[in-house]
Amino acid sequence: MDEDGGGGMTFDDLSRWKVKELRNYLGDRGIPRSNKTKVELVALAYAAYQGDAPLVQTELEEKRQRAEEYRQLLRVDGEYLPDPLVDLKEMNGKRSQLVYLIGLQ
């Protein structure tokens, strides 16, 4: 499935795609595609192409991105602070380590 042969895609180019390819193209952009005829799918795909519709992230990709953004919030001066939601709970009462980590020693 060639989405752009360099000269841009035309409605006729998209009409040569299989229904499965059209559904995948639309689905990758979060565009509803159920209960549509092939002509409707082609029209939606052409509109998405012309409007430069962005790809949407999968649930797993979104989860990974959020985790990485959270991890970066814990980075200070090139080092990662303990995650207060995970690491400090795992210390389970080890006061000396906690005091050292927060710099009260």
What residue segments make up the domains of the chain, in order of their start? 11-50, 59-102
Determine the pLDDT at residue 18. 97
Instruction: Give yes or no for a contact between 29 and 21, defined as CB atoms under 8 angstroms apart.
Output: no
Q: With cut-offs at 50, 70 and 90, classify the pLDDT of residue 83.
A: confident
Q: Which residue has the higher pLDDT, 92 or 26?
A: 26
Tokens representing residue 62 in the block:
């979104």
Instruction: Give yes or no for a contact between 14 and 42, defined as CB atoms under 8 angstroms apart.
Output: yes
- Give per-residue pLDDT as tens, 44-79: 999 999 999 999 988 899 999 999 999 899 898 888
- Give per-residue pLDDT as tens, 4-49: 445 689 999 999 999 999 999 999 999 999 999 999 999 999 999 9
**Euclidean distance between CA atoms 45 and 22, whole angstroms:** 7
